[in-house]
Amino acid sequence: MPLLLDLLNKMPPAAARIFEGALQRSPALRRQLDRQYDALVADLDASLHPYRGRLPGYTRLPAQGRTRADILKEMTALQEEEQVRWRDGFVSGAVYHGDRAHIDFLNAVYALNSQSNPLHFDLWPSTVKYEAEIVAMTAHLLGAGATPDPIVGTVTSGGTESILLAMRSYRDLGRSQRGIARARIVAPITAHAAFDKAAQSFGMELVRVPVDGGYRADVAAMAAAIDRNTVAIVGSTPSFPHGIVDPIPALAELAQATGVGLHVDACLGGFVLPFARELGYNIPDFDFRLPGVSSMSADTHKYGYAAKGTSVVLYRGETLRRYQYYAVADWPGGLYFSPTLAGSRAGALSATCWAAMVSMGESGYRGAAAKILATARFIRGSIERMPDLVVLGDPLFVIALASPTLDIYRVLDAMTARGWSLNGLHRPAAIHLCVTLRHTEPGVAQRFLEDLAAAVAEVRLQPASKGGMAPVYGIAATLPMHGLVEELLKRIVDALYRVE
C-alpha cells in the first residue's frame, strides 16, 4: 500500500483526522497524495480495461461505419468470453437465473419489443398493459390481497431508482402535509447505499443507526433517532451486506406509533421471501400485511429473473404515489407527464420483465426459491464448520463471512485469483456470497467451498501479499475520514471511462 495512505491507515482516528485536513490544504502533500491515488488506480487499471491493445478503441466515430457482421462477430466473442464466470457460478449475485433457455426467451421478447417506449402510451398500449400487470402481480405477492388499502406502484429502472423515488415521495408528502423543510430518513447502517444517494440527491438528511449484534435493525435506536422532521424509517428484507431480514413487525409498529412512513426494501427478497414462507422457512410478516408498511421496493431484475433494468416501487394508497409523478402543464413542448425519473424508457425491458414473471409463475418462483435456500443453507453450514471463518448473523441466501484470525480481504483476493467474483464488505471487514440459481447447479457449491478452504489455507501460510482489493479495503475499513476514500473511488470511476 502506498506510504502516505498506509501511514494514515495506522494512525489513531483523531490524529488521522487532523492529518487528513492538513493533507487537503498543503499543496506539496496534496501532490504526493495524488501520486499515491494514481499508483493505486494504476494497480487496478489493467483489470478494468482487459481489452486495451487487443481491440480497436474509439475516441471518435469511425469515418466509415463498420459492417454489422463484423460488429456482431466481435461482440459475440466478447460475450462468450465474459459469460463463462457467471454462467459457471463463479459470481456473487449479478446474474440471478442465467439458464440458457430462459435467456434466449427473454432475448426473443426483447427483440419483439425493442422499439417500444412507454412515454408514448398511445403507440404501445401493450407496454402499458405489461407495466400495470407487473405492478399488480408484485403487489399481490407482497400482501396487497391481505389489506383493504389499495397497493399501487410503478415500474422503475432498478432498485436504486425505486428507493430514490420512494424517498422523494416521502419528502414531498412531508413538505406539503407537515410543512417539513428538511426531511429526515432514519435507516439502519446496513440499508443500501441508494438511501444515501436519495438523501444527497433530494436534499434530505439521512440518519444511519447502528445495528444489533445479529446485524438486524436496532428498533430502540431507530426510535431514538426519529425527530419532528422524520418522514420515513427504513428496513431491509434482507439487507445487501449481510443478508439479514430486519425486524419489520417492530419497525411497522414504530412507524405507526410515530406517524412516519416505513419503507421496506425488498429489492433482494421481494421474489424469494413470499415463497420461503410457503416452503416453511420462519419469515415473520414483512410486507403490506403489516399496516405500518407504507412503501416497498422489489427488484424484478434480481430474483424476479427479468433482464437487467427493471424494479417495482409500491405504495400503500394513491397519495404517496402521486408525489412520485412528474407533470407539467405550461411547457411549450406540450402537456408532459411521466411516472418516474426517466422520460423515454425501454418498453422492451418491461415486456421482458412481464414475460419473465408470467413464464415463471408461482410454481417457478417457489421451485427456484427452494433450490436457492437449500443451497445457501448447505454453504452456510459448511462455512460455519471451517476454521478461521465465521458467518455473520443468521442469513438466508446472502452469506457474509469474516475471519477473527486472517485478513478477510486477502481471502477475497485469493478467491479472485481462483476465478471468483465475491463482494467485499466493511465495518466490519467481511465478504459475501449472494446465492443465485447459478450456485444451485451440480458441483458449484462444492467447488465454492473447496476454493474457499484453499484460499483460507493460502492466506494462513502467506498472510501478506501484494495488490488486489485488500489494500483498498484496508484503507476504507479503518480510515476515520471518508473523504479520502471517496475520492479514491471517484478516481476509479474516472478510470472506467478512460479510453486509450
Ligand X SMILES: Cc1ncc(COP(=O)(O)O)c(C=O)c1O
Where along the sequence are the contacts to ligand X (CB under 6 A)? 158-160, 192, 194, 236, 240, 265, 267-268, 299, 311
Give me the residue label for grid cell 471518508: 482
On whether the CB atoms of residues 349 and 310 are closer than 8 A, the answer is: yes
- 414 in helix, strand or coil? helix
Radius of gyration of the chain (CA): 24
User: Nearest distance from residue 158's CB to ligand X, in Å?
Assistant: 3
Least distance from C-beta 492 to ligand X, angstroms? 17
Grid cell for residue 376: 445457501
Classify the C-alpha dihedral 395-396-398-403 as positive or negative. Answer: positive
As measured in angstroms, the least distance from the Cβ of 268 to ligand X is 4
Helix, strand or coil, per DSSP, at residue 113: helix
CB of 195 to ligand X, least distance (A): 9
- Write down the residue that cell numbers 445487501 correspond to: 240
Nearer to ligand X, 37 or 240 (CB): 240
CB nearer ligand X, residue 17 or residue 197: 197
Instruction: Between 218 and 265, name the residue whose CB sits nearer to ligand X.
Output: 265
Q: How far is the CB of 433 from ligand X (least distance, A)?
A: 13
Nearer to ligand X among residue 299 and residue 413 (C-beta): 299
Cβ-based nearer residue to ligand X, 433 or 479: 433
Of 157 and 403, nearer to ligand X (C-beta) is 157
Q: Strand 336-338 relative to strand 390-391: parallel, antiparallel, unpaired?
A: unpaired
3-state secondary structure of 30: helix
Rounded Cα distance between 44 and 387, Å, is 31
DSSP track, 120-140: STTT-HHHHHHHHHHHHHHHH
Between 87 and 197, CB nearer to ligand X = 197
What is the closest distance, in whole angstroms, from the C-beta atom of residue 339 to ligand X in the complex? Answer: 17
Continuous segment of H or E residues that includes residue 312: strand 311-316
Cell numbers that stand for 138 in this block: 408484485
Minimum distance from CB of 400 to ligand X (Å)?
12
Smallest distance from ligand X to CB 269, Å: 8
Strand ranges (DSSP E) for 365-426? 390-391, 398-402, 423-425
Backbone angles phi, psi at 154, to 5 degrees: -145, 165
**What's the distance, Cα to Cα, between the start and end of the chain in Å?**
26
Task: Name the residue nearer to ligand X (CB basis): 158 or 395.
Answer: 158
Of 159 and 393, nearer to ligand X (C-beta) is 159
Q: Give min distance, CB of 308 to ligand X, in A.
A: 8
CB 43 within 8 A of CB 467: yes
Tell me which residue of 172, 204, 169, 173 sits closest to 187, measured CA to CA: 204
For residue 346, the minimal CB distance to ligand X (Å) is 15
Residue 314's closest CA among 329, 299, 333?
299
The sign of the torsion formed by the CA atoms of 486, 211, 160, 50 equals positive
449 Cβ contact list (under 8 Å, min separation 6): 379, 382, 383
Task: Give dist(CA 399, CA 391) in Å, integer.
Answer: 7
Closer by beta carbon to ligand X, 127 or else 237: 237
CB of residue 306 vs ligand X: minimum separation in angstroms?
11
What span, in angstroms and rounded, lies between the C-alpha atoms of 18 and 385?
Answer: 43
* CB-nearer residue toward ligand X: 165 or 254: 165
Residue nearest to ligand X (CB): 159
Annotate 421-475 with three-state secondary structure: ECEEECCCCEEEEECCHHHHCCCHHHHHHHHHHHHHHHHHHCCCCCCCCHHHHHH
